[in-house]
């Protein structure tokens, strides 16, 4: 049941990132790159309930490219980058006994097949650092606090220009409290 749901979810999500679609039976035409459509499609799933949404312009937003750890009393990433642009955040609660990490894994497998997607960093479990810090300091959402062994994080460079970033974070406290948090940063040229 989980596999069927996650395969259906991933197929719909990747509709927005497809580079080509069949215009006729024997002809291929380019399709516009639209990662926002990919995120909006999650709202249509019966087993994913949106609990948070925001859309704002950001300046020098820090995107984690490494685990979060305490160094000399200060929480920081092993590596990160700062980008400006439009930041769109979604958090969904994965319900009905489905596993947020499995949904995320299926999405990641499909994302990595796209030529305009490059993995910049990924971690799972305790290798990501403290889940309380991801929830409270990074994503500013305490509902994402969960078991450290059940968390997963990944960040991708998207699009032909490589300016966009997609971050995915899955968290779980219990079987009934599974969350998938996604941030899409539509970057702009520095200037």
What percentage of residues in the chain have a pLDDT greater than 90? 50
The per-residue pLDDT for 6 is: 45
> How does strand 152-158 pair with strand 164-174?
antiparallel
Instruction: Calculate mean pLDDT across residues 27-50.
Output: 65
pLDDT in tens, 63-100: 999 999 888 888 889 999 999 999 999 999 999 888 89
pLDDT at residue 4 tops 60: no
Tell me the whole-structure pTM to 2 decimals: 0.80
Q: 125 vs 132, 159, 171, CA distance in Å?
A: 13, 28, 10
User: Quick one: tokens of 162?
Assistant: 């490589």
Q: What is the pLDDT of residues 148-163, one digit of tens each?
A: 999 999 999 988 788 8
Q: Which residue has the higher pLDDT, 131 or 29?
A: 131
Lowest mean pLDDT among 22-31, 62-71, 95-104: 22-31
Q: What is the pLDDT of residues 110-124, one digit of tens each?
A: 777 777 889 999 999
User: Over 80: is that where the pLDDT of 129 sits?
Assistant: yes
Determine contact, residues 139/149, Cβ cutoff 8 Å: no
């Amino acid at each position: 049941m989980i596999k069927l749901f996650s395969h259906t979810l991933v197929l719909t999500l990747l509709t927005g990132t497809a580079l080509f679609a069949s215009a006729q039976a024997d002809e291929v035409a380019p399709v516009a790159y639209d990662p926002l459509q990919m995120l909006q499609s999650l709202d249509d799933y019966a087993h994913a309930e949106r609990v948070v949404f925001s859309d704002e312009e950001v300046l020098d937003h820090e995107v984690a490219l490494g685990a979060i750890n305490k160094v000399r009393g200060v929480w920081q990433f092993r590596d990160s980058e700062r980008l400006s642009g439009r930041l769109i955040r979604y958090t969904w609660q994965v319900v009905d006994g489905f596993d947020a990490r499995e949904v995320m894994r299926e999405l990641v497998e499909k994302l990595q097949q796209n030529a305009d997607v490059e993995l910049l960093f990924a971690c799972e479990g305790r290798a990501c650092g403290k889940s309380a810090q991801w929830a409270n300091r990074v994503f500013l959402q305490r509902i994402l606090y969960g078991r450290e062994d059940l968390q997963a994080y990944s960040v991708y460079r998207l699009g032909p220009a490589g300016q966009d970033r997609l971050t995915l974070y899955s968290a779980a406290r219990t079987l009934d409290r599974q969350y998938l948090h996604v941030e899409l940063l539509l970057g702009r040229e520095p200037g």
